[in-house]
């Protein structure tokens, strides 16, 4: 069966970049809801849907509480919105599979942000201080595991792509 021509999804996958500098322009609620909805439509093992999102808008004082807990504090401070991504332990069925589901949710959110003209970046390093972040967000009693944060805003940069050729990733050549 012949391949279809590139869809807008494939074009967005190729064009998406991690954006680490943002303008001060506010992200509207409609765009934010579209990004969050993209995250909730990610696949999950047994369809357990273990991901939970905490939205921290620009004026939310909790952004400043968690900023010092990552070496990417400027991203937390400068982004118009930060979405903290968690796994709900009560909805968990398998740690690895649940983390894979969270990764899929984050990727969906990154692609949705890009398709809406927003910039975003996945901040996984913040999970190194997960317990401190959960405490700073006053979520200690919620039975959550922090996976990452997604910083979202309007891009103030256009990074150039840097990818190895496909052969680098293939364990065997295609025949």
| Residue 6 predicted with pLDDT over 60 | no
Looking at 9-13, 17-21, 54-58, which range is the least confident one?
9-13
Please state, as a whole number, how many other Cβ atoms lie within 10 Å of the Cβ of residue 132. Answer: 16
Other C-beta atoms lying within 10 Å of the C-beta of residue 173: 6
User: What's the confidence (pLDDT) of residue 3?
Assistant: 46
Q: What is the pTM of this model?
A: 0.94
Averaged pLDDT for residues 35-56:
98
Which superfamily is assigned to 20-157 in CATH? NADH Oxidase (3.40.109.10)
Tokens 């979405």, residue located? 83
Could you report the per-residue pLDDT of 134-160, keeping only the tens digit for each?
Answer: 999 999 999 999 999 999 999 999 999
Domain map (residue ranges) of the chain: 20-157
Please provide residue 126's backbone torsions phi and psi, each rounded to the nearest 5 degrees.
-65, -25
Residue 2 has pLDDT above 60, yes or no: no
Residue range 118-124: mean pLDDT, rounded:
98
Q: How confident is the model at residue 5 (pLDDT cuts 50, 70, 90)?
A: low
Q: Which of 78, 26, 33, 25 is nearest to 55 (CA)?
A: 33
pLDDT band at 175 (very low <50, low <70, confident <90, very high): confident
């Amino acid at each position: 069966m012949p391949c279809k021509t590139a869809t807008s999804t494939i074009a967005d996958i190729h064009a998406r970049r991690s954006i680490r500098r943002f303008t001060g322009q506010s992200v509207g609620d409609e765009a934010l809801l579209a990004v969050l909805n993209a995250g909730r439509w990610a696949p999950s093992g047994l369809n357990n849907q273990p991901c939970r999102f905490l939205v921290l808008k620009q004026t939310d004082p909790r952004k400043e509480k968690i900023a010092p807990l990552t070496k990417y504090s400027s991203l937390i401070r400068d982004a118009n919105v930060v979405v903290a991504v968690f796994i709900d332990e009560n909805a968990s069925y398998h740690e690895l599979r649940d983390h894979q589901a969270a990764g899929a949710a984050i990727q969906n959110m990154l692609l949705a942000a890009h398709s809406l003209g927003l910039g975003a970046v996945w901040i996984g390093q913040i999970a190194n201080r997960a317990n401190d972040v959960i405490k700073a967000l006053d979520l200690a009693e919620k039975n959550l595991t922090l996976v990452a944060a997604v910083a979202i805003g309007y891009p103030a940069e256009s990074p150039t792509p840097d990818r190895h050729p496909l052969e680098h990733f293939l364990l065997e050549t295609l025949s």
